[in-house]
Homo-oligomer: A and B are copies of this chain.
């Protein structure tokens, strides 16, 4: 039988993690990871959570608008560990640098059940495609 309770809790974790990123709630973001977690965002790797958080604090700043949506969960639970495939679509808009990005990727995550609920032990994705453009080429384009 499918472990719907675990799949549900892992989904809630993933949604919380992405909501924290897009609202720049770094305390909530960090709480989604197990202490030993690693990350691999399409070529951008982090061997530990300390390095990950330092990068986020430095690079994801006010004025940078993002959107991370995940779809199509394919989650496999095996006792207290689980793997998850998600289909990501993300957008980054940084008017200050005349930069806009839209992309899709498949996440390949690993999770672990802890005393404090399910946590991410590894998150990473492989791009399907990525498109970038300069908003200044569309003079009416306005972000708020």
Stretch at the interface among A8-16, A26-34, A108-116: A8-16
Q: How far is the CA of A106 from the CA of B19 in the complex (A)?
A: 9
The answer to whether A128 touches B18 (Cβ under 8 A) is no
Q: How far is the CA of A115 from the CA of B42 in the complex (A)?
A: 38
Indicate how many identical chains form the complex. 3
Q: How far is the CA of A129 from the CA of B95 in the complex (A)?
A: 12
Interface of chain A residues 115 through 144 with chain B (CB within 8 A): 128-134, 137-144
What residues of chain B lie closer than 8 Å to A65, measured between beta carbons?
128-129
> Which residue from chain B places its CB closest to the CB of A14 in the assembled complex?
B72
The answer to whether A131 touches B104 (Cβ under 8 A) is no
Q: How many residues of A contact B (CB 8 A)?
A: 42
CB-defined interface of A83-111 with B at 8 Å, one 1/0 digit per residue? 00101010001000000000010100000
The answer to whether B132 touches A142 (Cβ under 8 A) is yes
The answer to whether B73 touches A15 (Cβ under 8 A) is yes
Q: How far is the CA of A130 from the CA of B144 in the complex (A)?
A: 5
CB of A67 closer than 8 Å to a CB of B: yes
CB of A80 closer than 8 Å to a CB of B: no
What residues of chain B lie closer than 8 Å to A49, measured between beta carbons?
none
CB of A23 closer than 8 Å to a CB of B: yes
